[in-house]
């Protein structure tokens, strides 16, 4: 099946429109009904773009974009980007964010994860090539695997188990980076690659299995908070608005090599659990310990020197502020 999105018309006087050569910019976002994708849809709409959101709703949800549906410059098409997609008319940007992204999701859907990283990236790149559009790939810190270098810089090649349970996601993203660079070098496509570290904020799925929503759900329900291993593994959490700002800045550069985006404020998983228990007033939750999953990274912290130098970017939302905002959202959906 080929998904086709027709040209749309709207009245440019109704909004502040960003123009390029007198035309409204058209931006395609695959995975646009997901957590990060929906925030990108919002941002590009606010910047005056026409936004075409493509999502098969495997892990995304219409709820994330319900507030955008009636906007004249927003279009949604339910389609699996692992199948060919055609879009009528010009396209200025293609942002490829379609993929399961949490361990629960990609362990449940390993083959669709591999397909969207390979076939889906190929199709999205083909669209960018056909439309002479800028292309941005959402890669991940998971390309570094369980890293032997700390903090992780973009010139580190990683320590990944290709046949382990997490390999379906790690290797899909590593392949996606490889084909993106091949399209850049061989076809001259204007490509960008962002390596996204742990990101959080409103519209995360409460049951997606990632550590932060897991802890918040358990604390809100008064359940035991599950810490794997001894809880001394580290993560670095970036608030979603900071990430989106970095992505927009990267898209507008001419830089083709990968760029880390994340918050270098490192925290142990146990410390995060303690912070969330303190944040959720009146919770009866206590901490319980379970066996560490296979190939779970022991340390995760981005070196963001490249982003600081190239983009003039660094996170500005303090974790205490971001956690409070995220908790308010989860209270509304728990």
Instruction: Please say whether the dihedral angle defined by the alpha carbons of residues 77, 74, 183 and 114, taken in this order, is positive or negative.
Output: negative
CB 212 within 8 Å of CB 156: no
Q: Which of 106, 144, 156, 169 is catalytic?
A: 169
Phi-psi region of 21 (alpha: psi -120 to 50; beta: other; left: phi over 0): left
Please tell me whether residue 45 adopts helix, strand or coil conformation. Answer: helix
- H or E stretch covering 261: strand 258-261
CA dist 157 and 305 (Å) reads 17
Q: How far apart are CA 179 and CA 259, in angstroms?
A: 16
- Whether the Cβ atoms of residue 5 and residue 75 lie closer than 8 Å to each other: yes
Backbone angles phi, psi at 5, to 5 degrees: -115, 120
> Any idea of the CA torsion for 196, 125, 1, 37, to the nearest 10 degrees?
30
Q: What is the DSSP letter of 262?
A: S
What radius of gyration do the chain's Cα atoms show?
19
Q: What CA–CA distance (Å, rounded) separates 101 from 146?
A: 17
Cα 228 from Cα 224, distance rounded (Å): 12
Catalytic annotation present for 169 = yes
Q: Give the chain's end-to-end CA distance (angstroms, integer).
A: 36
Cα 320 from chain centroid?
A: 21
Residues with catalytic roles: 169
């Amino acid at each position: 099946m080929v998904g086709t999105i027709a040209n749309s018309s709207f009245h440019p006087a109704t909004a502040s429109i960003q123009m390029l050569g007198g035309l409204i910019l058209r931006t395609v976002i695959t995975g646009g009904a997901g957590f990060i994708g929906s925030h990108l849809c919002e941002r590009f709409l606010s910047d005056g773009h026409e936004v075409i959101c493509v999502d098969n709703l495997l892990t995304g949800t219409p709820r994330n974009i319900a507030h955008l549906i009636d906007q004249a410059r927003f279009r949604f098409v339910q389609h699996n980007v692992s199948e060919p997609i055609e879009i009528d008319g010009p396209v200025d940007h293609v942002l490829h964010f379609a993929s399961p992204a949490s361990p629960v999701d990609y362990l449940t859907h390993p083959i669709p994860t591999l397909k969207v990283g390979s076939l889906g990236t190929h199709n999205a790149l083909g669209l960018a090539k056909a439309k002479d559009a800028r292309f941005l790939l959402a890669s991940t810190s998971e390309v570094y695997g369980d890293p032997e270098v700390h903090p992780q810089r973009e010139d580190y090649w990683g320590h990944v188990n290709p046949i382990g349970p997490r390999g379906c996601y790690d290797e899909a993203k590593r392949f996606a980076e490889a084909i993106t660079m091949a399209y850049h070098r061989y076809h001259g496509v204007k490509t960008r690659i962002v390596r996204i570290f742990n990101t959080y904020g409103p519209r995360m799925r409460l049951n997606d299995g990632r550590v932060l929503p897991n802890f918040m759900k358990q604390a809100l329900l008064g359940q035991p908070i599950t810490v794997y291993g001894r809880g001394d593994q580290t993560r670095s959490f970036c608030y979603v608005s900071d990430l989106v700002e970095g992505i927009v800045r990267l898209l507008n550069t001419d830089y083709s090599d990968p760029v880390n985006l994340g918050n270098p404020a490192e925290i142990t998983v146990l410390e995060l659990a303690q912070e969330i228990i303190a944040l959720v007033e009146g919770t009866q939750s206590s901490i319980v310990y379970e066996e560490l999953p296979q190939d779970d990274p022991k340390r995760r912290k981005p070196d963001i020197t490249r982003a600081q130098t190239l983009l003039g970017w660094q996170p500005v939302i303090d974790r205490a502020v971001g956690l409070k905002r995220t908790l308010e959202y989860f209270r509304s959906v728990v």
